[in-house]
Amino acid sequence: MDEILQQVGTLLLGAIPTALLFIVLVLAYQFLIQGPLSRTLKERRARTQGAVEEAHKAIARAEERAQEYANKLRQARAEVYKAREQRIKQWSAERDAALDAARLAAGQRVSQAKTELEAQAAQARQAIQASAGELASRVVRAVLPVAAGGTR
């Protein structure tokens, strides 16, 4: 059994440099590779998530701008329709005013023509009445000489 213990002791004594070398390698790996690699991965993850967050923010801003543009477009269309309706109302009012003026002018012309016609009719009546006496005397003269000539 001593021999086994001695062999185990020799093995352990021979394993010490290997264990020390392993510990040095693990520490060197931690400081030289694992640390910078972890920092790089953390930075990469932060940048990636930051970029994703920035992309989400950019998308949200773009959607807000699209909403603003849509609202402005709706407002512009409403203003155009309102201006159009006002122009149509103005044109209708102008047309109605022109029609009323034309109706009034036509009514005045009709009443003026009526007045002139009545004046002409009155003149014609006066002329007929004035000439009626003369015509009656001509008719009487024309008829009486024939009647007087036949009784003579």
Question: Is 99 part of a structural domain of the chain?
Answer: yes
Question: Could you give the number of structural domains in the chain?
Answer: 1
Which whole number is the average pLDDT over 114-128? 91
Question: Encoding tokens for residue 141?
Answer: 């003269």
Alpha-carbon gap, residue 34 to 26, rounded angstroms: 10
Position 131 scores a pLDDT of 84
Question: Is 17 part of a structural domain of the chain?
Answer: no
Question: Encoding tokens for residue 87?
Answer: 């122009």
Question: Is 122 part of a structural domain of the chain?
Answer: no
Q: How far is CA 12 from CA 5, 7, 18, 19, 92, in A?
A: 10, 8, 10, 10, 113
Higher per-residue pLDDT: 149 or 14:
14
Alpha-carbon gap, residue 69 to 63, rounded angstroms: 10
Q: Where are the alpha helices (DSSP H) in the chain?
A: 2-29, 35-151
Q: How confident is the model at residue 148 (pLDDT cuts 50, 70, 90)?
A: low
Position 138 scores a pLDDT of 82
Domain that holds residue 89: 37-111
**Long-range CB contacts for residues 137-146, cutoff 8 Å, separation at least 24:** none
One-letter amino acid for residue 106 of the chain? A
Question: Is 150 part of a structural domain of the chain?
Answer: no
Position 13 scores a pLDDT of 87
Question: Is 63 part of a structural domain of the chain?
Answer: yes
The model's pTM is: 0.42
Q: How many residues does the chain have?
A: 152
Position 63 scores a pLDDT of 95
For the segment 18-46, what is each residue's pLDDT rounded down to a tens digit? Answer: 999 999 999 999 999 999 999 999 999 88
Instruction: Kindly report which listed range (64-73, 102-111, 121-130) carries the lowest average pLDDT score.
Output: 121-130
Question: Is 7 part of a structural domain of the chain?
Answer: no
One-letter amino acid for residue 137 of the chain? S
Alpha-carbon gap, residue 141 to 109, rounded angstroms: 46
For 108-119, give the secondary structure using H, E and C.
Answer: HHHHHHHHHHHH
Which whole number is the average pLDDT over 79-91? 96
For the segment 101-110, what is each residue's pLDDT rounded down to a tens digit? Answer: 999 999 999 9
Position 152 scores a pLDDT of 43
Question: Encoding tokens for residue 34?
Answer: 């694992």
